[in-house]
Chain A
Amino acid sequence: MKRLALLIVILSGGLLLYATKDFPSWGDPNSPASTHVSPRYLEKSLEETAVPNVVTAVLADYRGYDTMFETTVIFCAGVACFMLLRKFEPEERDLYYRHIPTGLTLHIKGEKQIPSTSKEFEKIDAIWTPYDFIINTVSRFLVPFIQLFALYVIAHGHHSPGGGFQGGVILGASIIVLAVAFNLRTAVRRFGEKIDGIMSALGVFIYAGVGAFCAILGAEFLNYRALAKILPVGKVMARSHGILAVEIGVGIAVMAVMICIYNNVASEGKFDEGL
């Protein structure tokens, strides 16, 4: 069976390689991909949108609908993950607590719980990754700077190879580091499930809201030029700022959905102990 699989993989790989021979050569100016609409984007995008990065201009402005529904697809993925995996009934199981001053571990059978208000006891995981001092401290120190870098990536989508999707992923990863290095409970305490759900919807809402706002101001849906009526800038710069607003929405949605998917998959939907 393994050999058959290997044979199939090699065959299909060979076929794909054979098919690449028919592609236009790399950077060919006469290829179909670079004849129709691309030259116009390349020539006009800077003067029309004041965005030096053509990819960002195409993604968030010329093809705004496309990106909006991509964001919606990501949102749907998060919702699907939540619907399929999240369990709400508590299971009967053994509980473990750490007594913080002495470091002793308590094992409680059945449903009894030490109230979570007690400062001396900390609930710990049953399949238990022990407290690791070095990893905890280092990730604690790195998280703010990872977040700052993520915000930089979102804010400089116009000038660098960044944007909402990339920045959102890094922002989500910064919370996931907390969940990995400490435990899921720490991460959820810091960025709760409810906020997470609201944020993932809010991201999509910001994107669609900017579009609808343009429509209210009298232009087409997602035509950011209309924003010039309320912003103290010209029509070209209004397009640039519109792209930024949209990118922020994408970033928020991607971050929240990443965290939602991680939490649900890692804890099998129980949200008590992860990874």
Chain B
Amino acid sequence: MVLNGVVMVLMFCGLVFFTGGGIGILRFPDFYTRLHPAGKLDTLGSLLMMTSVAIFNLHEITLSNALTSLKIMLIVVFVFISSPTATHAIMDAGVRAGLRPWEKGMPRG
């Protein structure tokens, strides 16, 4: 029961972060600022959701279940290494293409 509660709370937090990411991508004014929610909120959201799934998977503790949970955490590790790199790559492409950053007082792009 406690386990289920933890799973639900984690999953809810993850969904909140994902929602923030989705709305942020739509609302921020230009390309550079849009990358902030896309790069960060999605990473933490997937960390929380994956952790909750991994905990739920441990409802009966066997070797194979534990290994599956470890694999899920492996995905998290991979996402944590690759997601900032992908964000940086996209931003680098924007910089090289000469996109001008949004500044205060400009219209939304």
Contact = CB atoms under 8 A, between A and B. Distances in A.
Chains A and B directly touch (beta carbon < 8 Å): yes
B26 to A, nearest CB: 25
A142 B77 CA distance: 11
Interface size class of B (residues with CB under 8 A): under 10
B81 A138 contact: yes
A38 to B, nearest CB: 28
Nearest to B89: A135
9 contacts: A134-B85, A135-B88, A135-B89, A135-B92, A138-B85, A139-B85, A141-B81, A142-B78, A142-B82
Contacts, number: 17
B92 A132 contact: yes
A125 to B, nearest CB: 14
A142 B79 CA distance: 11
Nearest to B88: A134
B94 to A, nearest CB: 13
Nearest to A130: B96
Interface in A130-183: 130, 132, 134-135, 138-139, 141-142
Q: Which of B78, B85, B92, B96 has the most CB atoms of chain A within a 10 A radius of its CB?
A: B85
B81 A142 contact: yes
Given A130-B96, A138-B82, A139-B85, 6 more contacts: A132-B89, A132-B92, A135-B92, A138-B85, A142-B78, A142-B82
A135 B83 CA distance: 11
Interface string B51-75: 0000000000000000000000000
Contacts of B89: 132, 135
Contacts of A130: 96
A29 to B, nearest CB: 30
Nearest to B85: A138
Contacts of A141: 81
A132 B78 CA distance: 20
Interface string A197-241: 000000000000000000000000000000000000000000000
A138 B92 CA distance: 15
Nearest to A134: B88
Nearest to A145: B78
Contacts of B78: 142
A141 B77 CA distance: 13
Contacts of B88: 134-135
Interface string B76-109: 0010011001001100100010000000000000
A180 B78 CA distance: 19
A135 B89 CA distance: 7
B33 to A, nearest CB: 20
Contacts of B85: 134-135, 138-139
Interface in A92-140: 130, 132, 134-135, 138-139
